[in-house]
Chains A and B, each alone.
Chain A
């Protein structure tokens, strides 16, 4: 079983739509959670961290459910510029292996006009 599993997508939505991505992780001892964004043929870049209480950054809302080992990302009022692949990332601190990140395979989003 892969450490981090994501909705495979692709998601194709019109401008202005609300879209949600889900992610599950296997290790209950996971410490930190993130969403990264990756544009076509570019490097991943941090979109936002995910906090236990949930957090919002403009049109983006991230939620964490530790009991279900589940992370979500909600994008409201989608823009053409939101088209990208969204990577769910989990930091599984295993004692001495501090800071090892595990990446999901990514969910591709295309926003059309």
Chain B
């Protein structure tokens, strides 16, 4: 099993550009989530999904959209990138919504 995969590993965007961070898992987990990690802030939940077709907002959802058309994939869309979205983004999946398996992360810089 590949576990949780994320692409790209690194990305630089200009303010106002949009892009999609990809996340996929091959463990047949129903629960998937996106976090961002900033220095001194810890991980904060952006959006999560408890199954295909079901998504909900986390602590910091503004500026991000998600969809869950399949069990395997959970992409995160940045609608109009802002410097405040410079961060490390982690996707995670879970069988039961409790123990999380994280992907390797995407390092995003918005200039």
Contact = CB atoms under 8 A, between A and B. Distances in A.
B96 A87 contact: no
Nearest to A97: B56
A86 to B, nearest CB: 12
A44 B90 contact: yes
Interface of A: 4, 32, 34, 42-46, 49, 87, 91, 97-106
A30 to B, nearest CB: 12
Contacts of B43: 44, 87, 103
Given A32-B98, A44-B90, A46-B99, A99 B50 contact: yes
A92 to B, nearest CB: 11
Interface stretch (B11-19, B74-82, B100-108): B100-108
B94 interface: yes
B52 interface: no
Interface in B21-49: 31, 33, 35, 40-45, 48
Contact of A91 (B42, B44, B98, B104): B98
Interface residues of B, number: 24
A91 B94 CA distance: 13
A98 B33 CA distance: 12
Contact of B96 (A99, A100, A104): A99
Contact of B45 (A4, A32, A43, A101): A101
B61 interface: no
B99 A43 contact: no
A34 B90 CA distance: 18
B97 A98 contact: yes
Contact of A99 (B31, B41, B42): B31
B50 A98 contact: yes
Given A103-B42, A105-B42, A49 B58 contact: no
Contacts of B50: 98-99
Contact of A49 (B41, B42, B44, B99): B99
Given A34-B99, A87-B43, A106-B42, A99 B94 contact: yes
Contacts of B58: 100
Nearest to B4: A43
